[in-house]
Structures are given as C-alpha cells and as structure tokens.
Amino acid sequence: MTAILGISAYYHDSAAALLVDGRVVAAAQEERFTRKKHDPGFPSRAVEYCLKEAGISPAEIKYVAFYDKPLLKFERLVETYLAYAPRGFRSFCQALPVWINEKLFTRRNIRGKLPGYRGPVLFTEHHESHAASAFFPSPFDEAAILTLDGVGEWTTTAFGVGRGARIDLTHELRFPHSLGLLYSAFTYYTGFKINSGEYKLMGLAPYGQPIYADLIRKHLIDIKDDGSFRMDQSYFNYCEGLTMTSRKFDELFGGPARQSESLVTQKEMDLAASIQEVTEEVVLKIGRHVHDVTGQKNLVLAGGVALNCVANGRLLREGPFDRIWVQPAAGDAGGALGAAWMVWHQLLENPRTPARPDAQSASYLGPAITANEAATQLDAAGAVYHTLDEPELLDQVARLLADEKVIGWVQGRMEFGPRALGARSILGDARSPQMQSVMNLKIKFRESFRPFAPCVLREHVDEYFAMRPGEDSPYMLMVAPVREEKRLQHPRTDSGVPEAELEGIEKLKVPRSVIPAVTHVDYSARVQTVDRERHGRFYRLLKRFHAVTECPVLINTSFNVRGEPIVCTAADAYRCFMATGIDALVVENHLLLKSEQPVAQEHGRAGYLAQFALD
C-alpha cells in the first residue's frame, strides 16, 4: 500500500488530501472542522479525518507532500522588500515573525503533527500543485493546462500540457504581475474581503456597466494579444504595504475604497462590471494563445481565478477548446490534492488511466454521515424527526419544495471545495419569484444582490440553459445564459415598472424567466448538472421534484449562513436549521419540520450569527 498525504496550509483554506495506491480516499478543508471560515492553520483535523477514512495511522503513510515551497516564497518576500526598501518595512516586520516561527520550519511542523511518521516530506511548487490537481483527476489523456491565481512562490500564471501520467508547465507570468491580485485589488477597493469577497464582486458585476474598463486598460494593465500583461505597480500597494491599492488608485477612481458593510452604490457595481470585463478579456486571450501553442483540444484549469465561473463559461462558449475541466477545489485547498497527485505520478512514475467521468468522485470526498450517527446527534440536540424510507422521504421533500418551503439537505460525504453540490445544501424552488430574496435575507443573511445557482437534471440541461445536450457541469463552475424560450417577454416588476427603467439593485424586483430565482439580472446562471451515476439520492430527489412539478431545476446553495463554513455534521446542520428560516431539514433518511421542533431548542439568531466573522 502506498499512502500519500497532501497538505496545504498557512495562507487560507488549509486542507488535507489522501491518495492510497493512486485513488483519492479523502480530502477536506480544515474550516469544516474548526468552524473558522478559510482557516489558514495547519489542517490537523482534516489530516485526522483523512487517516480515519483510510483506516491507517501516520506510521503507515509513505510520503507527505506540501503544496508549495516555503523557501522560495520567503525569497520572494525578502527580494520584494529589498526592491521597495525602505518602503514596506512595516509590512515586512509584520510578516517576519510568522515566517521565523512557523513557515520556514514547515517540514519540522509536519513531523511534529504526525507522530510516528518516518517518511520524507516533499515540496512541490505552488503552480505544479494546481496543475496536478486539474489534470490528473480530469477525464483527459491529453490536455492543455492553465493555472491562474494571486501568486505562488513567484509564478502567478502558468500553462503547459498534461499527457498520460506527466505534466509539463512551459510558460509563466511572474509576480507582481497577477490577474488574481488585480481582481483582489478591486475586491478590496469595493469594500469586500480579499480571498473571500471575489465571489461577491463577480455576482455584483451584472448590475453595473463597464464604464471603467478602458481606464483599467489604459492605466493599470497592459494586455498583449497573447494574454500576457504587465501592471503599473504605482497604482497598487501589495508589494510594500498593508493594503491592496495605493493613493494613486484612489485618485484614478475618484475617492477612497468603500468601507466594509456600507451601502453598495452604482459606482461599486460599475467597477465590478469593469474588472470582470477585463478579466474575461485576459482569460479569453490567454486561452486562445494556450490553444495555439499546445494544439490541444481539451483544457484543464485551476488556481483561484479558475473559480471565476463567468470567465470559464465564456471560454467554453467562445474559446477554441472542445471541453474544459476545472478542479472543483481550484484554490489553495485543492493544492493539497495536487501535491499528492504529483508524488504518485510525477515522482513515483505510476501510470495513469483517465477515469470517466473523472477521478474526483463528484467531489464528495469529505466525512460521511450515516443514518445512525445522524440519529444520535439529533437525539442529543433534542430534535424531533421522522425516519422514512426513501420513496416516502423523496415524495414529501419534493412536495415541500413545490410548496415553496426551504429545505436543508445533508446526505453522505461532504463536498471538497467551496461549493455545496448536493451533500450539504440548502434547496428551494427555482420557479418562485420571491425565493431569491427570501433565501438571501432570511436564511443566508447575506447581501441581497448575490445570485443563487441552479441544479438541473443533466438530461434536461439544454432545455433551460444555452448548453449542449447532456453537457457535464457537475461542479457549478460554468455560467451559461438561460435559454431565450425560457425567458419572460417584456419583464416588469409586480407594480408594472419595465425592467429598462430600473437601475442597480432595483433590477432584482423583476422576474426574468420561468426559473426567476436562479436567473441573474443578465439572464445568466451558474449551472450544476446532476446525474444518476454520481449524485445518488440527490439525483433521485430532483427526479421526484420533476415528476411533481414538471420542472427539473432547483436552487442549490451552500448550507451555512454568511461567514460560516459549510456544515459538516448533523449537529452543525441542526444548529443552523434552528437559527435560520429554513423550513425543513433532511439528514440522511430523517426528516425534521421546523414547526415540530421544541421551542426551547430555538437558537437566538443574533447569537448564532455573532459566532462567525463577516466574509
């Protein structure tokens, strides 16, 4: 038995992943266990889970792989400081203690956390880990590889080719020129949290107009025809300061950064639209160049920028590639998985046979909940529940959804990556015009502008979205337009105001299609396809809902409130259920109705929300 443990840690979204004889046995983010969003600490609990899932001890691990090279990162930190000195002394001094006490001694720290482990601790480069996480689990024997993020050691963008059991990255862009950091600069400037709020910026973009796009191209980034670029660092502060943008950036866009949690104005919407347009332009140009250089018909993507599903969707529809596969945990968490894959294939030279549909197992790689474990946790919480056989359970839940009830849905193994994919989800009726605002404001407690994603039976995906028949999008990483024939003609508010007369957040008031709860203001949707082979009971629920309503589409959003990691256990789910407006909870084959729960079990909403820092 060859067990390889992959680890990512110390920046954000720490995670662990375990391969045994070339098969992914387990992978999970530390945040799901500690309940601390984007937890950057050493993933002790995630490691413990992975080993438990495999039934092995640390002594039985053959290799440990870390997802980047700390010494190269430290070299970048020192060289950057020296390049800007004496500016940047404050940020350098702030970063130095954690390097001296922790990051420079990663090998020692790993051994200390794994008593009994006697094997080597190996280090892969950051973008190699991203590339491996994208190519090796993909269904392709050959593919172009593109990785885009903020920064690894020095690399910010890389591309190359994967063939069989090997990857070869041949081209790169280097720090400080970074598409990920450019996008994060606008995340910061519009008042959202970097490494977290980029999703919000992407969701906000359709409310605005790209009126600043030319200003960005003229002053901030010089984009070449091949997608390579250089950024004018005088507008940024991430090389030498504690903020992302400089005073010169503020002057260019007419004032200081928006304060977090203050009113989102049309300016922020237009800025979001502008940087999203520029990002898509870069991704499309790089994609076409990668195709020209590699001659490959398939593409795999990873890195934080690969979570920009709007850009991914455009690259698939408008770019030169036949198929695109994106690592579901495309950010730093997925680096743990990629590091383990690098050791198995690249170092140990084990052969590879591409799995169909892929080797990611629907990304259901986290801890499972059994019916008995769920019952024990629910009993301990004093919950009232009904234990049903599957046909009755699915029928009752489908009818509750059809009656516009909101359902917490917890089944099987937890998802690996930032998306809930039908294992730890909140579900709702996509046909309801009210559901988007109800779920945002009364259940998720997040900004009203944020869109919800649809899950759809894969065999019906082309009936509702501008996608090919049976097209696979199981990881919610592609945005596609809602089909014209499913859109409403001359959309208006309930009071009769035409859509054309509305601006900004007011656009939310207009139903745009027969599935208005998942149709964004630009008629787009972040699509998850659901199939029989990978999705089990979730697929069967959607089939039952289709039979009841003749609609194969539901809302699928993550089971958490704003700032909270996605729920992991039945106990996590019950606490969230009782503190929010969720109407019913399903944990395995147990059904809980809010109306039947003891009043004494109700959790104070304010107290529950206060546990989690706003993201």
* Mean pLDDT along residues 599-614: 76
Q: Average pLDDT in the 328-334 region?
A: 98
CB 451, CB 203: distance < 8 Å: yes
Provide the 8-state DSSP code for 603.
P
Residue 177 annotated in active site: no
Token pair recorded at residue 553: 């589409």
Angstrom distance (rounded) from CA 354 to CA 405: 41
* One-character DSSP codes across 391-429: HHHHHHHHHHHHTT--EEEE-EEEESSSS--SSEEEEEE
Q: Which of 100-114, 279-293, 304-318 has the lowest mean pLDDT?
A: 100-114
When mean pLDDT is compared across 69-73, 231-235, 358-362, 601-605, the lowest value belongs to: 601-605
Q: Judge contact between 143 and 290, C-beta under 8 A.
A: no
In degrees, rounded to 5, the angle at the alpha carbon of residue 520 between the alpha carbons of residues 515 and 524 is 90
* Number of continuous H segments (helices) and E segments (strands) in the chain: 20, 23
- Does the structural domain 3-138+330-362 have CATH classification 3.30.420.40? yes
- pLDDT tens per residue across span 517-552: 999 999 999 999 999 999 999 999 999 999 999 999
Alpha helices in 216-330 (DSSP H): 247-252, 266-294, 309-318
3-state SS track over 347-385:
HCCCCCCCCCCCCCHHHEEEEEECHHHHHHHHHHCCCCC
Supply the DSSP string of 536-575, one letter for each residue: HHHHHHHHHHHHHHS--EEEEEESS-TTSPPP-SHHHHHH
Q: What distance in Å separates the CA atoms of residue 8 and residue 29, rounded to the nearest whole number?
A: 9
Helix (H, G, I), strand (E, B) or coil at 16: strand
pLDDT digit string, tens, across residues 387-428:
999 999 999 999 999 999 999 999 999 999 999 999 999 999
* Residue range 364-485+503-609, CATH number: 3.90.870.20
CATH placement of domain 179-325: 3.30.420.40
pLDDT(372) > 90: yes
Which residues have a Cβ under 8 Å from the Cβ of 612 and sit 6 or more positions away? 35, 37, 561, 562, 563, 564
Other C-beta atoms closer than 10 Å to the C-beta of 468 total: 11
Of 64, 70, 69, 74, the residue nearest 113 (C-alpha): 64
Q: Which residues contact 358 (CB under 8 A, 6 or more apart)?
A: 137, 138, 139, 325
pLDDT band at 603 (very low <50, low <70, confident <90, very high): low
Domain with CATH 3.90.870.20 in the chain: 364-485+503-609
Question: What length is written for the chain?
Answer: 615
Higher pLDDT, 404 or 603: 404
| Terminal C-alpha separation, the chain | 41
What is the rounded CA–CA span in Å between residue 224 and residue 286? 9
The alpha carbon of 135 is separated from its chain's Cα centroid by a whole number of angstroms, namely 18
Rounded Cα–Cα distance for residues 585 and 582 (Å)? 7
Find, among 92, 202, 301, 146, the residue nearest to 520 by Cα: 202
Question: Cis before residue 176, ω within 30 degrees of 0?
Answer: yes
Mean pLDDT of 254-280: 96
How many other C-beta atoms can be found within 10 angstroms of the C-beta atom of residue 389? 8
* Model pLDDT, residue 22: 96
Contact 46, 29 (CB under 8 A): yes
Q: Which residues contact 194 (CB under 8 A, 6 or more apart)?
A: 184, 187, 188, 244
Say if CB 274 and CB 280 are below 8 A apart. Answer: no
**Using CA atoms, how far apart are residues 5 and 26, in angstroms rounded to an integer?**
10
The CA-based angle 46-580-391, given to 5 degrees, is: 80
Stretch (H or E) spanning 181: helix 179-189
- From the list 204, 42, 40, 205, the residue with the least C-alpha distance to 112 is 42
Judge whether 148 and 305 are in contact, CB under 8 Å.
yes
Contact 591, 401 (CB under 8 A): no
Q: What is the pLDDT of residue 544?
A: 98
DSSP class of residue 245 equals: B
For residue 614, the number of C-alpha atoms closer than 13 Å in the C-beta half-sphere is: 11
The position carrying tokens 């945005």 is: 479
Rounded to whole angstroms, what are the CA distances from 572 to 144, 175, 426, 599? 40, 40, 13, 18
Q: How far apart, in whole angstroms, are the C-alpha atoms of residue 557 and residue 203? A: 14
Please write the tens of the pLDDT for every residue from 442-497: 899 888 888 999 999 999 999 999 999 999 999 999 999 999 999 998 888 777 78
Tokens found for residue 491: 């959309």
- pLDDT tier at 355 (50, 70, 90 boundaries)? very high
253 has a pLDDT exceeding 90: yes
Q: What are phi and psi of 154, to 5 degrees?
A: -120, -30
Q: Which DSSP symbol is given to 585?
A: E
Q: Which residue spans of the chain are classified as CATH 3.30.420.40? A: 3-138+330-362, 179-325
Q: Using 50, 70 and 90 to split pLDDT, how confident is the model at 99? A: confident
DSSP 269-285: HHHHHHHHHHHHHHHHH
**Residues 280/310, Cβ–Cβ less than 8 Å:** yes
User: What three-state secondary structure class fits 143?
Assistant: strand
HSE-up of 107 (CA within 13 Å, CB side)? 11
Is the predicted pLDDT of residue 18 greater than 60, yes or no? yes
> What is the value of pTM for the model shown?
0.96
- Res. 221: pLDDT tops 70: yes
**Mean pLDDT score across all residues of the chain:** 95
